[in-house]
Amino acid sequence: MAFVVSARKYRPVRFDEVVGQGHVSQTLKNALQTDHVAHAFLFCGPRGVGKTTCARILAKVLNCENITSDYEACNTCSSCSSFNENASFNIHELDAASNNSVDHIRSLTEQVRFQPQQGKYKIYIIDEVHMLSQQAFNAFLKTLEEPPPYAIFILATTEKHKIIPTILSRCQIFDFNRIQIADIVGHLERICKAETIEYESEALHIIAQKADGALRDGLSIFDRMVSFSNESITYEGVIKNLNILDYDYYFKVVDCMLKEDMGGVMLLFDEILSNGFEPDIFINGLAEHIRNLLVCKDEGTLRLLEVGEAAQARYRTQAKISGTSFLLTALSLANDCDVHYKMARNKRLHAEMSIIKMCHIGAAYRLGEQQKLGAVEEKKTPDQSVTSSGKEEVEVKVKEEPRKEGEKLASNPSKEKEVEPPKKEVKSSLLSNKISLSLNDIEASVEEEGAKEEKEIPLELGRAQNAWNKYVAQHRSPSIRNHLKGVALAIVEDDLQLTLGGNFIESAIKGEHDLLPFLKKELQRKELQFRFIIDKKQLPEPPKVVKPLTDMEKYQKMNQNNPLVSDLQKRFGLKFD
């Protein structure tokens, strides 16, 4: 027996078998029940969601001789049998992608003039109707506007915006939705049970996600997985065959980020790249993973988590230990990385910088919280506190003196004890109030951690000269090396003074963007500045202005070099003006 693909073998033949388009099926059934069937329908939606299938089912029901009580085709009458065998004379299917000329449409309109030989209606299903030419649309317009009572047109398209408005206004338009992952998984499970195929629920979820809302694409992937795994569909086999990054990596990466384990994240990222995945695939998958963690934060949004039950449990567990602010900031960083990815020259480094910043989100928030507490303390003076009404009151603190035996208490009991100012509770609400963290704060936290490891060393001329010579020796440009060799160094008020031979050398040094960071690193300095001094002695002397010679001066000079010039002037009687 010849193999039949699942998309054809399990193609719905009844309205109640259509997957994920209940609103369309119910509306068409109601129209059949009330006998309010339009003469033209337009089914719009993405590929593989059931447009042509619903058109065939509707055409079959319209000509069925024994419609069931729930308005489905009986599949036993002569009309249904001929349709199932592709031998019906009253139901015509036309592919507008290959029959889009005026002649094809004129041939169709000629057929419309003849009444049906069997059944009530002649039904024309035109698939990919947006492929018709402008002339074909115009030729079809008159027939669509005033068709005979027995003619019904069902048009299907994936690009409704390409159809002219005069056609749209004459059709009942049905918009087909992308099929939900849960609906695709349910359909695949029914096929597996019918074919006695062993499967893992997580594997079917991956297939459904890869289908991207198109059931036909999902069934094509399903057939491939069955052939690959030999009648047993496993999660490992699916991700290997489809080249999908295992979401287990994302759980490990986020765990390392929460622990601020930058080394662990970098090693995982390197392993992912070694498996053949591009950095942008990892970044997009990480953003999707973080989005799923945010979904798990609210019970009302859990239905948006389109993964298997085992994965749902892992997402909920990790979401409990992940702060909302951390997730929002990480998602923002991943989005920024994806937006600028194409413009980056070193794409791996671009992605690594983003995940490094994600590892420092916690440290950056702690730094921001410390700065906030410091700002609150600076606003308070030592002897003032803020009352509940918001006004500042000066409190007088009276130190209680030891009383002698038998001495009476003071008349004012409020002065007996030192009055402590009410402590204003500062809640750590930064993590819950901020929805995102600026990159400057993250970079500041990274710099602060690096600064703790560095020790400030006094600036010495000998060490500075050695560092300068080291930079000059490794420079690639001979001209820049010559300019830098002629610079005299000095230490002035903890700054590095550079004595130059001209302004152009100052411009060249300012153009060396790597020079100052190199010297800071070599000299172990957090702060270092240049002072420029121009040595006028080294400046070249300005060129002397030479006055041009007159004609007489030129003659006299020529005469001094050659006396024969004077004889020539006298012989020919030459005169000067």
Using the predicted structure, report yes or no on whether residue 482 has a pLDDT greater than 80: yes
The two beta strands, 488-492 and 392-394, are: unpaired
Residue 220 and residue 270 in one domain: no
Mean pLDDT taken over the chain: 80
Residues facing 488 on adjacent strands = 499
Same-domain pairing of 565 and 530: no
31 and 152 in a common domain: yes
Q: Which of 351-365, 415-429, 492-506 has the lowest mean pLDDT?
A: 415-429
Q: Is residue 99 part of a domain?
A: yes
Higher pLDDT, 122 or 434: 122
CATH number at residue 187: 1.10.8.60
* Cβ neighbours for 249, distance < 8 A, ≥ 6 positions apart: 268, 271, 272, 282
391: in domain: no
In this prediction, residue 392 has a pLDDT band, given cuts at 50, 70 and 90, of: very low
For the cut 80, the answer to whether the pLDDT of residue 259 exceeds it is yes
Residues 254 and 115 in one domain: no
Q: Which of 363, 386, 419 is the last residue of a domain?
A: 363
Residue 80 and residue 19 share a domain: yes
If asked whether residues 234 and 258 sit together in one domain, one would say no
Q: Identify which of 206, 201, 173 has the alpha carbon closest to the alpha carbon of residue 186.
A: 201
Name the 3-class secondary structure at 125: strand
Query: Does residue 448 sit within a domain?
Result: no
Mean pLDDT in residue range 154-174: 89
Directed axis angle between helix 478-485 and helix 461-473, to 10°?
160
Measure the CA–CA gap between 481 and 474, rounded to whole angstroms: 9
On the question of pLDDT at 430 being above 70, the answer is: no
Q: pLDDT band at 81, cuts 50/70/90?
A: confident
Residue 570 has pLDDT above 70, yes or no: yes
Q: CATH no. for residue 41?
A: 3.40.50.300
The answer on 200 and 119 residing in a single domain is: no
Same domain, 528 and 560: no
pLDDT digits 0-9 by tens, 282-320: 999 999 999 999 988 888 888 788 777 778 888 888 888
pTM of the predicted structure, to 2 decimals: 0.58
Phi then psi dihedrals of residue 535, to 5 deg: -85, 110
When pLDDT is averaged across residues 127-146 and rounded to a whole number, the result is 86
Q: Quote the CA–CA distance of 220 and 151 in Å, as a whole number.
A: 35
Residue 423 has pLDDT above 80, yes or no: no
- Whether residue 486 is contained in a domain is answered as yes
> At which of 363, 389, 422 does a domain end?
363
Of 340, 363, 386, which marks where a domain is finished?
363
Q: Is 60 exceeded by the pLDDT of residue 130?
A: yes
pLDDT of residue 420: 46
In a domain, 103, yes or no: yes
Report pLDDT for 399.
42
- In the chain, the number of structural domains is 5
SS (HEC) of 527-567? CCCEEEEECHHHCCCCCCCCCCCCHHHHHHHHHHHCCHHHH
Q: Which domain holds residue 487?
A: 461-538
The pLDDT value recorded for residue 437 is 47
E strand or H helix at 279, and its extent? helix 279-295
Q: Taking residues 194-203, report their average pLDDT.
A: 86
Q: Is 23 within the bounds of a domain?
A: yes
The reported pLDDT for the residue numbered 174 is 92
Q: Please state which of the ranges 304-313, 320-329, 345-354, 429-438 shows the lowest mean pLDDT.
A: 429-438
Residue 525 has a pLDDT of 84
Residue 407 has pLDDT above 50, yes or no: no
Question: What pLDDT does 287 receive?
Answer: 92
Shared domain for 469 and 486, answered yes or no, is: yes
CB 387 within 8 A of CB 312: no
User: Chain-centre distance of CA 88, in angstroms?
Assistant: 50
